[in-house]
Structure 1
Amino acid sequence: MQVVDPHVHFWDLRTHRYPWLENPGTSFVGDAAALRHDYLPENLSSDAGAVQVLKVVHVEANHDPENIVEETRWLQSLADGGDGSRGAFPNGIVAGADLSAPDVEATLAAHAEFANTRGIRQILNVHADPLYGYVERHFMRDPVWRTNFGLLARYGLSFDLQLYPSQMREAAELARLHPDTQFILNHAGMFVDRDRLDGYRAWRDGLRLLSACPNVTVKISGLAMFDHLWTVESLRPYVLETIDAFGTERTMFASNFPVDRLFGTYEALWRAYARIVAGASSSEQSALFRHNAERIYRI
């Protein structure tokens, strides 16, 4: 089985600082202390087992915000030093940046200097329940943030969009304002309030609001964060609903490793995706597992 994995995280606790792993807390994902260990390309290759990982995209791992470009420099050094046996990982880099910072253009310019940089992620998830909260500010409502968002197109950078369904309407408006910027919705829209009918409707309808914007694509990943005892059948409705909204031409599968490693093996996850879309054509499967990620992330 061959895949291109467009959502992985690497970290080296010996040489880099990740504040969230210094004093790990507990969230809906579980105890972050279980992730307090190095995770490098060789660890991913080992976890892959029988899955042949052709290329990967690294998504920022909440590196030290005081030295955010250092994460990109380090990742580029990993890519440049790859032995070629499974590809020089990471092939693409989605870097971190705070678009509300007045001087963020210097950060974007610095990231863009590295050959494998493709985009930016700034986590936007706001939730009334502290268990699910990532940030406390509605960045998309911040005038400085909105102005600086326009800089992404200047530097040819995409935007990895991580939020909750309640924020999807605002995100769709943002996507329409920036038609020249590629948006990639993370983790199938993070359907968090799944125990309520209005929560389901917010997710379902939000997917369709975003999919109506031609510059928005989606990654099916991170489902295990909300379904720790997942099975093929428990994942199936979320996978199929997401593909139904975006189509096979704007959807890609991803692992979210090592976070989702807490809830299953790499091979089991990709085999589950394959079983769910077994009825798709060979060209559709190639798009979902490899070609869309290569095209969207330009790798």
Structure 2
Amino acid sequence: MSEPYVYRGATYRDPAALAEWLAGTPPEEALEPQLAIVDPHHHIWENSKRGRYLLHEFLADVNESGHDVRRTVFAECEAMYRADGPEPFRPVGEVEFVRGVAAMSASGQYGPLRVAHRMIGHADLTLGGAVREVLEAEIDAGGGRLSGIRVCAAWDGHHEEIGRYVAHQVPPGHLLNPALHEGAAVLAELGLNFETWVFFHQLPDVIALARAVPQATIIVDHVGGPICVGPYAGRRQELFEVWRGHMRELATCSNVHVKLGGLGMLHFGFDFQLRDVPPPSTELAAAWRPYMETAIEAFGVERAMFESNFPVDKQSCRYGTLWNALKRIAGNASAKEKEALFAGTASRVYRL
């Protein structure tokens, strides 16, 4: 008898095993292939732990999908930091790295898609006013492509059961730190967005931040983090109600936007990765719809945008299957609403 599955982090299969699993079913034909897409959240990396997912790997996923992806936004993932120099400036290395990837894509040699047309970097905003020098270095390194800074603030007291996989480990209440608020104000002054990734029970901290720094444009990743593993497993409907209440209150902050995606990550507890073959988009859409529709209803299409979160969400499905699922969820939307959700809102927020 096999051991019962226990959630141990964001990765279930390594790249080789994942490729073999995904090959178990053919790619789906793209729905509404003429619908333009701006993917506002994906990663590029290479290291011994996560493997290789650089420009060519991402392009292979997009090209296989058949979807009309026009532009993308790179989201920081602690890739290619500088190995030396002052600690606060080491994330500048990631911006330098991604600018090179963007330059490769902008050459046109790889097709019309412009990968990493804009990027989200990282900086320690608890430096307060002193973070300005770091941000100015990143702006310079980005060559006009840096749109904002992401603070991965996801924290939970049950970290051993949920998995300490989040980069930039932070203490509880990180977003309530007055020094971070000061740093966020500097971000806004420099025309940069504040992006964050939190778990659902931390959304009140985002609300407090949004009200403390109303001049900042704030973007919440992954539908507000409705995790359902570890101590939260088996409580989906109960926790959905808690998450929904927080999201509705968060939406009253007009400076906050939300990314609709990330639900392919393992800690959301849908367990598609345990299937013998990858799930079809119909099943993904059915599972994800309550969260997506609730967020769209709360924020409106002008403050909501679909995202891929690849390659993290690749643990659950192909790139094309993911976008098919999102198109199924938006199936009853008007053409204008679809344009906003799939491209328009991201284009405006990230100044594409």
TM above 0.5, yes or no, is: yes
Alignment of 1:208 with 2:243, yes or no, is: no
Amino acid of the structure 1 residue aligned with 2:56: E
Bigger CA radius of gyration: 2
Aligned with 1:191: secondary structure? coil
Measured in 2, the distance between the counterparts of 1:198 and 1:170 equals 21
Amino acid of the structure 1 residue aligned with 2:134: T
Measured in 1, the distance between the counterparts of 2:271 and 2:317 equals 9
Corresponding residue number in structure 2 for 1:190: 225
**Which range moved further: 240-249 or 94-103?**
94-103
How far does the alpha carbon of each residue in 1:205-238 deviate from its partner, in whole angstroms, 9 at most, with x for none? 1111111011111101110111231622111111
Aligned with 2:45: secondary structure? coil
Q: 1:128: how far off?
A: 1.5
Pick the aligned partner of 2:258 from 203, 218, 233: 218
Counting only pairs closer than 5 Å after superposition, residues 99-178 of structure 1 correspond to structure 2 as 99-101=125-127, 103-113=130-140, 114=142, 115-130=144-159, 131-132=161-162, 133=164, 134=166, 135-137=169-171, 138-178=173-213
Measured in 1, the distance between the counterparts of 2:219 and 2:136 equals 21
Aligned with 1:213: secondary structure? coil
Corresponding residue number in structure 2 for 1:51: 67
Alignment of 1:37 with 2:51, yes or no, is: yes
Measured in 2, the distance between the counterparts of 1:236 and 1:198 equals 17
Measured in 2, the distance between the counterparts of 1:120 and 1:264 equals 28
Corresponding residue number in structure 1 for 2:323: 270
Aligned with 1:112: secondary structure? helix
CA contact (8 A) 2:304 2:345 kept: yes
Amino acid of the structure 1 residue aligned with 2:314: R
Amino acid of the structure 2 residue aligned with 1:86: P
Alignment of 1:81 with 2:95, yes or no, is: no
Measured in 2, the distance between the counterparts of 1:254 and 1:278 equals 16
Point out where structure 1 has 5 or more consecutive residues left out of the alignment.
14-21, 25-35
Amino acid of the structure 2 residue aligned with 1:265: R
Measured in 2, the distance between the counterparts of 1:128 and 1:77 equals 38
Q: 1:251: how far off?
A: 0.9
Corresponding residue number in structure 2 for 1:30: none
Cα distance change on mapping 1:74 and 1:136 into 2, 3 Å: closer
Q: 1:136: how far off?
A: 4.5
Amino acid of the structure 1 residue aligned with 2:123: A
Corresponding residue number in structure 1 for 2:122: 96
Q: 1:99: how far off?
A: 1.1
CA contact (8 A) 2:123 2:149 kept: yes
Point out where structure 2 has 5 or more consecutive residues left out of the alignment.
1-32, 273-282
Normalised by the size of structure 1, how large is the TM-score? 0.87
Aligned with 2:155: secondary structure? coil
Q: 1:198: how far off?
A: 4.7
Cα distance change on mapping 1:279 and 1:88 into 2, 3 Å: closer
Identity of aligned residues (%): 32
Measured in 2, the distance between the counterparts of 1:184 and 1:141 equals 16
Q: 1:163: how far off?
A: 0.8
Please, what is the CA RMSD of the aligned residues?
A: 1.8
Aligned with 1:42: secondary structure? helix
**Which range moved further: 189-198 or 39-48?**
189-198
Measured in 2, the distance between the counterparts of 1:136 and 1:90 equals 27
Measured in 2, the distance between the counterparts of 1:46 and 1:167 equals 36
How far does the alpha carbon of each residue in 1:51-83 deviate from its partner, in whole angstroms, 9 at most, with x for none? 121000001012347421011011112212323
How far does the alpha carbon of each residue in 1:92-139 deviate from its partner, in whole angstroms, 9 at most, with x for none? 110011112364222111112221000000101111211335434021
Corresponding residue number in structure 1 for 2:24: none
Number of aligned residue pairs: 279
